[in-house]
């Protein structure tokens, strides 16, 4: 159990895109001027688009001050959850203007962080402990160490058991369900129940499906990426393995228990830091690739768009 009070709808209704619309309208209205500015103008527009999308993921312009309903909508949670987080000390008190409670961007950022941590399976007490450690000025390594201690498990994600009927409802696609069983991501047990071996991956599939991608396409991508991920894993683990093999050699008695425990702890920490390093590198690569893709699309649009200037 994550300790999360209740679950909001997946995504708020789409709003008129404020900052994003402004940027796109500039391209629509003046393609001739954009063409004169050429690549620099396109790259600037792309950078502004992604900055706006990150700041306002649902296309809502930020005013910097929010009532509780607006804060809940922007953070993708509920007003009830916000009140619970306030009562538990996770959120700082809002600014009081008469009888009105106003929240700001700091509340919004913190609320999104709380929601993310709860989604990852931590309970409210754990979230409070990690946020407190961060606020007390502890560095990222200390917070990651605290996170590892709280998680208390080696496995990155635990399989989930459920009835086959529930597993089918989770996928909501018979052919895709059969593919997931065939790939081992879902396992049908002898007792007739199902085990979702990679629940976080299935959850990610379902999140992305809301944007219109088919689950078949997502499974295809997973099958293409998995061998590459395994190669990266082998390269990283080999570095740790060489260090361990220098200390534990065939035919030689094992080091004492303390040294073995240190080696195991080193490998656990190695996993944490390796994941952080690869995540940062992958994120940077994906950002660059996405920006280049959007730049090409906008450049093609601008090149072929009729002039709207007088």
Q: Indicate if 130 and 189 belong to the same structural domain.
A: no
Q: Indicate if 144 and 31 belong to the same structural domain.
A: yes
Element (H, E) at 281: helix 257-304
Question: What integer pLDDT is reported at residue 109 of this predicted model?
Answer: 79
Q: Indicate if 110 and 170 belong to the same structural domain.
A: no
Q: Rounded to a whole number, what is the distance in angstroms from the first to the last CA of the chain?
A: 62
- Residue of 177, 167, 182, 168 lying closest to 215 (CA atoms): 177
Interatomic CA distance for residues 284 and 96, integer angstroms:
40
Interatomic CA distance for residues 254 and 164, integer angstroms:
46
Per-residue model confidence as pLDDT tens digits over 130-189: 777 666 655 545 555 555 554 455 556 788 999 999 999 999 999 999 999 999 999 999
In a 10 Å sphere around its CB, with 0-12 CB exposed, 13-18 middle and 19+ buried, how is residue 244 labelled? middle
Interatomic CA distance for residues 112 and 173, integer angstroms:
31
Mean pLDDT (whole number) for 23-51: 64
Element (H, E) at 98: none
**Residue corresponding to tokens 């690549």:** 39
- What is residue 104's three-state secondary structure? strand
Q: Within a domain: residue 2?
A: no
Radius of gyration, alpha carbons of the chain: 24
pTM score of the predicted model: 0.54
Q: Indicate if 168 and 190 belong to the same structural domain.
A: yes
Whether the per-residue pLDDT at 44 is higher than 60: the answer is yes
Interatomic CA distance for residues 2 and 123, integer angstroms:
5
Interatomic CA distance for residues 201 and 221, integer angstroms:
12
Number of domains into which the chain is organized: 2
Q: Within a domain: residue 251?
A: no
**Residue corresponding to tokens 């409070």:** 128
Q: Within a domain: residue 50?
A: yes
Structural tokens at position 258: 């303390």
CATH of the domain at 66: 1.10.1660.10
CB 90 within 8 A of CB 127: yes
Interatomic CA distance for residues 239 and 124, integer angstroms:
37
Question: What integer pLDDT is reported at residue 308 of this predicted model?
Answer: 52
Give the pLDDT band of residue 107 (cuts 50, 70, 90). confident
Structural tokens at position 305: 């768009």
CB 71 within 8 A of CB 80: no
Q: Indicate if 140 and 161 belong to the same structural domain.
A: no
Final residue belonging to a domain, choices 183, 206, 226: 226
Q: Indicate if 104 and 131 belong to the same structural domain.
A: yes
Q: Within a domain: residue 300?
A: no
Cα distances from 91 to residues 95, 124, 141, in angstroms, run 12, 12, 24
Q: Indicate if 29 and 117 belong to the same structural domain.
A: yes
State the residue range of the domain holding 186.
157-226
CB 109 within 8 A of CB 64: no
Interatomic CA distance for residues 92 and 64, integer angstroms:
16
Question: What integer pLDDT is reported at residue 74 of this predicted model?
Answer: 85
Mean pLDDT (whole number) for 49-76: 68
Question: What integer pLDDT is reported at residue 34 of this predicted model?
Answer: 53
Question: What integer pLDDT is reported at residue 250 of this predicted model?
Answer: 72
Final residue belonging to a domain, choices 104, 135, 151: 151
């Amino acid at each position: 159990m994550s300790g999360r009070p209740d679950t909001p709808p997946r995504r708020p209704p789409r709003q008129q895109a404020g900052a994003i619309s402004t940027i796109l309208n500039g391209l629509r209205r003046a393609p001739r001027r954009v063409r004169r500015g050429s690549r620099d103008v396109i790259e600037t527009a792309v950078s502004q688009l992604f900055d706006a999308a990150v700041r306002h993921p649902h296309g809502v312009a930020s005013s910097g001050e929010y009532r509780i309903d607006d804060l809940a909508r922007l953070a993708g949670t509920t007003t009830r959850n916000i009140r619970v987080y306030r009562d538990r000390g996770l959120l700082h008190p809002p600014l009081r203007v008469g009888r009105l409670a106003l929240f700001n961007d700091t509340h919004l950022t913190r609320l999104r962080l709380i929601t993310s941590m709860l989604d990852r399976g931590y309970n409210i007490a754990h979230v409070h402990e990690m946020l407190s450690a961060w606020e007390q000025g502890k560095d990222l390594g200390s917070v990651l160490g605290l996170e590892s201690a709280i998680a208390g498990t080696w496995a990155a994600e635990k399989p989930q058991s459920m009835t086959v009927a529930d597993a089918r409802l989770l996928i909501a696609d018979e052919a895709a369900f059969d593919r997931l069983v065939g790939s081992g991501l879902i396992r049908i047990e002898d007792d007739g129940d199902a085990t979702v071996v990679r629940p976080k991956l299935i959850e990610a599939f379902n999140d992305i499906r809301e944007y219109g991608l088919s689950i078949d396409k997502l499974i295809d991508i997973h099958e293409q990426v998995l061998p590459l991920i395994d190669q990266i894993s082998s390269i990283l683990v080999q570095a740790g393995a060489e260090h361990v093999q220098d200390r534990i050699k065939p035919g030689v008695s094992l080091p004492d228990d303390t040294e073995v425990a240190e080696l195991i702890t080193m490998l656990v920490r190695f996993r944490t830091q390796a994941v952080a390093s690869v995540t940062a590198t992958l994120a940077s690569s994906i950002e660059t690739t996405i920006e280049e893709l959007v730049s090409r699309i906008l450049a093609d649009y601008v090149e072929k768009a009729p002039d709207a200037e007088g």
